[in-house]
């Protein structure tokens, strides 16, 4: 693994695992055939796709493999799930989702809203959690779909999708339940026959769990009414046209197996994250952890640093070879700070000063030590420049 | 999105955060001019101060010799603040002369800024103007007499157009003219207006209307008509929702609670929707999965028998 940077942005993307890369290579160089072709040689490609389907089905705890649909990314999986069920069920015109979804869900819902659907965007509290009472109130007779993410990409806060899916189905079995599991796949167990048995559709992508970018999965429970998004081919039973991306599909399957084999890494990653988080809280005044009181992914910490702006912190971290990300307006490409932190009502003195560190099994104690060494200095540097911070007394000026 | 900053921008920022000699962070002691722009809510804010070498008789011949800033903001906001102070100190301008240091001068000094960061340089120019006003007030200089056509309080006064960043109509119109802003995107890049919720883009009196007023009406895409939703037709319940809910409350109080309380438990009605009663079991009952299921059935059966057979109970 290349170690010229300290990589703490694993919720954005991950390094391809060496085992995954190795598994993929033969399907780039030797077994390059189109799995739909008729000659014997192509059989190996088709078999590889079938084996991969079995591996992913095992990863999801399900028996029949035809419920696994290959896509190009989680964004495609989310689009297919939401638009696909909307097209197949035109009589229902209401969708329930949350205010903190990834744009790949949020924007699709807003787009449907513009074309006449009604959408309920459930609020969250200051810890990023949903109120089950709001959820129940939101379900209606004409509700088509509930789409609620499993774990939040920015804060790592986990939603109880097992419970929410059960409540949905007990209220009205015809309401479909989709969850975007992009951040939880590989980090939390996903059992679609067990606790997630009421979930109809589940999305995730390869590149968040050490497979390459360019491959995703959509689980579609048998019997779920859904129309395809991509048409123009017989592949995957006509539910997603397009030649299967064999090497990437093989990589995805290997990454899933690897994640299941290495579940024990979770506790080590959690310990590193906790050490980082506690260390930062000890060393830096006016710093809070967003979503601290909620159940969270073991690898994610999102800190709110009061009275300074996030981009200046990332810039200095980058100069130290440390990769992280921020929900600040200046890094978002828009002028608004993160919709997730805004929905959580993070105070205005801190909403622009968030930094997310997200770890993987490839991080070490040295990585954490390095951040604990440089980050307090980076914060102090910017606070010296801030009109809202009194660096001599090391406290806010009270001007904000 | 990686940083697209010029080397000069990166250098000024790193020098500033490291507090290298020759940088300008802080506040001038006993300043002759103080100007502020932006707010922490909006994501960037600057407090700018300068000191002049006072001319013994003619304030118009004062010269800016020291300039400092405190800035809350991103890399380019801090670099723009540094650039402003450096330009002023190098130029040894009179305060009136300094007004020609506009955002374009700051961008030039930085060797360019990404278009979505232009507002950082505008913040520097605005803070400077505010500080020059402050200087004029302190030194008894009448700017209007000199033909300086700026209204110092227009930021605070006037109809708010962009609610997210609290920007007023007079301010935005002046900026549209001064900076030759031709599209909504131009306005957002320069002032941040319309960069958040975007509802002011095409609202009556919004950004497009301001552009039309300043530049004359341009051809624009037709506005979307608000979609009309048909009123929902509800089914007529036999019992009013109030009577139905009251009935359930009474039945649970009479038949369910006493039994549960004996065992140290309780039940809460979370919500009632149509024929579905959502309940939350508390205390001793909550922890016991088997009992929970049995209780749910027991409650459901009681309500079915005594009130309406369509009732279903869901445990939350």
* Alpha carbon of residue B101 to chain centroid: 27
Residues B169, B163: contact at Cβ < 8 Å? Answer: no
Residue where a domain terminates, one of A197, A229, A261: A261
Domain membership of residue A88 (yes or no) is: yes
CATH T-level topology, domain B7-139:
Sufe protein. Chain: A (3.90.1010)
Same domain, A87 and A157: yes
Give the model's confidence band at A334: pLDDT under 50 very low, under 70 low, under 90 confident, else very high. Answer: low
Same domain, A246 and A292: no
Mean pLDDT along residues B30-48: 90
Residue where a domain terminates, one of A198, A228, A261: A261
Same domain, A232 and A298: no
Same domain, A93 and A202: yes
Q: How far apart are CA B65 and CA B88, in angstroms?
A: 8
Domain membership of residue A1 (yes or no) is: no
Same domain, A129 and A253: yes
CATH code where residue A360 lies: 3.90.1150.10
Mean pLDDT along residues B252-280: 86
What's the pLDDT tens digit per position in A359-380? 999 999 999 999 999 999 999 9
CATH T-level topology, domain B241-315:
GMP Synthetase; Chain A, domain 3 (3.30.300)
Domain count for chain A, please give it: 2
Same domain, A251 and A282: no
- Partners of residue A400 in chain B, C-beta under 8 Å: 40
Q: Name the residue range of residue A29's domain.
A: 18-261
Residue with tokens 């118009």: B60
Interface of A with B (CB under 8 A): 114, 116, 118, 132-133, 136-137, 139, 141, 167, 170-171, 307-312, 315-316, 318-319, 328-331, 333-337, 348-349, 352, 378, 381-382, 384-388, 400
Mean pLDDT along residues A341-353: 91
Domain membership of residue A341 (yes or no) is: yes
Predicted ipTM beyond 0.90: no
Same domain, A137 and A278: no
Residues A300, B160: contact at Cβ < 8 Å? Answer: no
Mean pLDDT along residues B160-189: 87
pTM of the model: 0.82
B146 Cα to chain A: minimum distance (Å): 32
**How far is residue B197 from each of residues A51, B4, B170, B181, measured CA to CA in Å?**
47, 25, 21, 20
Q: Which of the residues A113, A335, A379, A396 would you substitute to probe the B interface, choosing the one with the greatest number of B C-beta atoms within 10 Å?
A: A335
User: Which of B14, B16, B45 minimises the CB distance to A319?
Assistant: B14
Residues A269, A359: contact at Cβ < 8 Å? Answer: yes
Give the model's confidence band at B287: pLDDT under 50 very low, under 70 low, under 90 confident, else very high. Answer: low
Q: How far apart are CA B299 and CA B263, in angstroms?
A: 16
Active site positions of A, annotated: 330
Mean pLDDT along residues A127-151: 96
Q: How far apart are CA A264 and CA A137, in angstroms?
A: 39
Instruction: Check CB contact under 8 Å for B71 and A385.
Output: yes
CB atoms within 10 A of CB B258: 9
Domain membership of residue A278 (yes or no) is: yes
Residue where a domain terminates, one of A211, A226, A261: A261
Same domain, A268 and A257: no
What's the length of chain A?
400
Question: Closest-CA residue in chain A for B120?
Answer: A330
Output the pLDDT for position B291.
59
Residues A335, B196: contact at Cβ < 8 Å? Answer: yes
Same domain, A331 and A226: no
Give the model's confidence band at B293: pLDDT under 50 very low, under 70 low, under 90 confident, else very high. Answer: low
User: Which of A116, A309, A382 minimises the CB distance to B43?
Assistant: A309
Same domain, A241 and A339: no
Domain edges within chain B = 7-139, 154-215, 241-315
- Partners of residue A378 in chain B, C-beta under 8 Å: 17
Output the pLDDT for position B223.
46
Phi, psi of A209 (to 5 degrees): -130, 40
Residues B197, B163: contact at Cβ < 8 Å? Answer: yes
User: Which of B69, B227, B312 minimises the CB distance to A116?
Assistant: B227
Supply the DSSP symbol for A173.
T
Q: What CATH code is assigned to B154-215?
A: 1.10.10
Same domain, A196 and A315: no
Residue B155: is its pLDDT beyond 80? no
Q: What percent of chain B has pLDDT over 70?
A: 86
Q: Which of the residues A311, A385, A388 would you substitute to probe the B interface, choosing the one with the greatest number of B C-beta atoms within 10 Å?
A: A385
Output the pLDDT for position A272.
98
Same domain, A89 and A225: yes
B223 touches chain A (CB under 8 A): no
B164 touches chain A (CB under 8 A): yes
Give the model's confidence band at B1: pLDDT under 50 very low, under 70 low, under 90 confident, else very high. Answer: low
Question: Closest-CA residue in chain B for A118?
Answer: B229
Least confident of A93-102, A128-137, A232-241, B294-303: B294-303
Mean pLDDT along residues A145-165: 98
């Amino acid at each position: 693994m290349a170690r010229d940077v300290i990589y703490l942005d694993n919720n954005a993307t991950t390094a391809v695992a060496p085992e995954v890369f190795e598994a993929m290579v033969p399907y780039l160089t030797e077994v390059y055939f189109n799995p739909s072709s008729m000659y014997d040689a192509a059989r190996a490609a088709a078999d590889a796709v079938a084996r991969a389907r079995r591996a992913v089905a095992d990863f999801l705890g399900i028996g029949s493999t035809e419920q696994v649909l290959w896509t190009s990314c989680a964004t495609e999986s989310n689009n297919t799930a939401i638009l696909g069920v909307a097209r197949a069920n035109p009589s229902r015109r209401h969708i329930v989702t949350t205010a903190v979804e990834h744009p790949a869900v949020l924007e699709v819902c807003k787009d449907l809203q513009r074309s006449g659907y009604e959408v309920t965007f459930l609020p969250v509290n200051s810890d990023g959690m949903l109120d089950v009472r709001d959820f129940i109130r939101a379900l209606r007779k004409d509700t088509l779909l509930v789409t609620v993410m499993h774990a939040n990409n920015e804060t790592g806060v986990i939603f109880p999708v097992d419970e929410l899916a059960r409540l949905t189905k007990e209220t009205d079995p015809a309401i479909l339940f989709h969850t975007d599991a992009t951040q939880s796949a590989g980090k939390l167990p996903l059992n679609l026959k067990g606790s997630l048995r009421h979930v109809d559709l589940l999305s995730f992508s390869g590149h968040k769990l050490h497979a390459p970018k360019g491959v995703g999965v959509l689980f579609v429970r048998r019997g779920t009414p859904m129309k395809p998004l991509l048409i123009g081919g017989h592949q995957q039973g006509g539910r997603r046209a397009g030649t299967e991306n064999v090497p990437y599909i093989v990589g995805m399957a290997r990454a899933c197996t690897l994640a299941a084999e290495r579940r024990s890494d979770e506790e080590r990653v959690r310990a590193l994250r906790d050490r980082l988080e506690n260390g930062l809280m000890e060393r830096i005044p006016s710093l809070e952890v967003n979503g601290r009181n909620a159940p969270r992914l073991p690898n994610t910490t999102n800190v709110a640093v009061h009275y300074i702006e996030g981009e200046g912190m990332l810039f200095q971290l980058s100069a130290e070879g440390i990769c992280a990300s921020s929900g600040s307006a200046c890094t978002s490409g828009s002028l608004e700070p993160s919709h997730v932190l805004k929905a959580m009502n993070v105070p205005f003195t801190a909403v622009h000063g968030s930094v997310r560190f997200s770890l993987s099994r490839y991080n070490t104690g040295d990585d954490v030590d390095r951040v604990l060494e440089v980050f307090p200095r980076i914060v102090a540097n910017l606070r010296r420049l801030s009109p809202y911070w009194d660096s001599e007394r090391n406290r806010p000026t009270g001007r904000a | 999105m990686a940083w697209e900053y010029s080397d000069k921008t990166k250098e000024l920022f790193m020098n500033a955060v490291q507090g290298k000699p020759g940088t300008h962070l802080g506040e001038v002691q006993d300043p002759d001019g103080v100007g502020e722009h932006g707010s922490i809510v909006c994501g960037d804010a600057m407090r700018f101060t300068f000191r002049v070498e006072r001319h013994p008789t003619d304030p118009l011949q004062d010269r800016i010799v020291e300039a400092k800033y405190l800035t809350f903001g991103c890399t380019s906001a801090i670099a723009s603040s540094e650039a402003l102070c450096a330009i002023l100190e190098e130029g040894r301008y009179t305060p009136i002369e300094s007004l020609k240091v506009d955002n374009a001068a700051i961008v030039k000094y930085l060797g360019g800024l990404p278009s979505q960061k232009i507002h950082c340089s505008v913040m520097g120019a605005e803070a400077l103007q505010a500080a020059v006003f402050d200087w004029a007030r302190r030194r008894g200089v009448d700017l209007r007499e000199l033909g300086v056509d700026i209204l110092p309080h227009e930021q605070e006064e006037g109809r708010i157009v962009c609610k997210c960043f609290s920007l007023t109509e007079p301010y935005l119109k002046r900026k549209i003219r001064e900076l030759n802003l031709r599209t909504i995107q131009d306005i957002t890049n320069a002032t941040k207006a319309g960069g958040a919720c975007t509802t002011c883009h095409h609202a009556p009196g919004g950004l497009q209307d301001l552009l039309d007023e300043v530049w004359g009406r341009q051809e624009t895409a037709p506005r979307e008509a608000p979609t009309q939703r048909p009123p929902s037709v509800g089914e007529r319940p036999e019992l009013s929702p109030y009577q139905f809910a009251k009935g359930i409350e009474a039945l649970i109080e009479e038949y369910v609670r006493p039994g549960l309380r004996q065992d140290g438990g309780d039940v809460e009605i979370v919500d009632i929707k149509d024929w579905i009663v959502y309940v939350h079991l508390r205390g001793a009952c909550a922890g016991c999965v088997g009992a929970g299921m049995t209780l749910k059935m027991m409650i459901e059966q009681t309500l079915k028998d005594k009130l309406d057979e369509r009732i279903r109970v869901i445990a939350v």
